[in-house]
Structure 1
């Protein structure tokens, strides 16, 4: 069976277009230094939730005063707390959460 030359050229162009589109779509999900891939975002969301739960469950801390953000396993704690002991306790609790690679303390004393 002999294929028509135009059909072959069209098929090649279509294949290249599909490959290019697929590479763009997959590239959008890849992580860079400043962005996260989908899997990393889900992991960071889980870490944030666990750190918030640990702070909430601690009777000495007021969880509403402490903000938690996570990026690629690095947790940033911010907000206003009443004592240095509360700062130290929140940092310690965050470090104990599985998946946390570093903790940045941006909390301020009231």
Structure 2
């Protein structure tokens, strides 16, 4: 009888999990979009590392649903613009929010 209850409970739990699936609520990401966003962030940072006109250690990059958020500090307007251009030219980027502050 103990085992029958345990099996019934496990079956009920399994059916509940399968029927609800991986529902995504407001403000959450699917696993796939999280992986895509991580790949975008990595690609942007790698391009910053290759471009000597952008100080990659001073600029933060975060991605959510294909939108890249840039933050941190730049030494000039040209550096800020270059950082944004690099992010925009990265594959799968939908939009760029450039909140980099110019600090001489």
* TM bracket (short chain): 0.7 to 0.9
- Across the aligned residues of Structure 1 and Structure 2, the Cα RMSD in angstroms comes to 2.2
Stretches of structure 2 lacking an aligned partner (at least 5 in a row): none
Name the one with the larger helix percent. 1
1:20 to 2, 12, 16: 16
What's the TM-score, normalizing by structure 2? 0.82
* Unpaired runs of at least 5, structure 1: 1-6
Structure 1 residues 67 and 98, CA gap change in structure 2 (3 angstroms): same
* 2:47 alignment partner, one of 54, 62, 75: 54
TM-score of the pair, normalised by structure 1: 0.78
Distance in 2 (alpha carbons) for counterparts of 1:103 and 1:32:
24
Paired residues for 1:19-98 under 5 Å: 19-24=15-20, 26-27=21-22, 30-98=23-91
- Tell me, what secondary structure is at the counterpart of 2:57? helix
- Could you tell me how far 1:16 is from its partner in structure 2? 4.7
Which stretch of the first structure deviates more once superposed, 45-54 or 30-39? 30-39
Largest Rg, 1 or 2: 1
Aligned length in residues:
99
- Runs of 4 or more above 3 Å deviation: 11-17, 30-33
- Find the aligned partners of 1:31 and 1:43 in 2 and give their Cα distance: 16
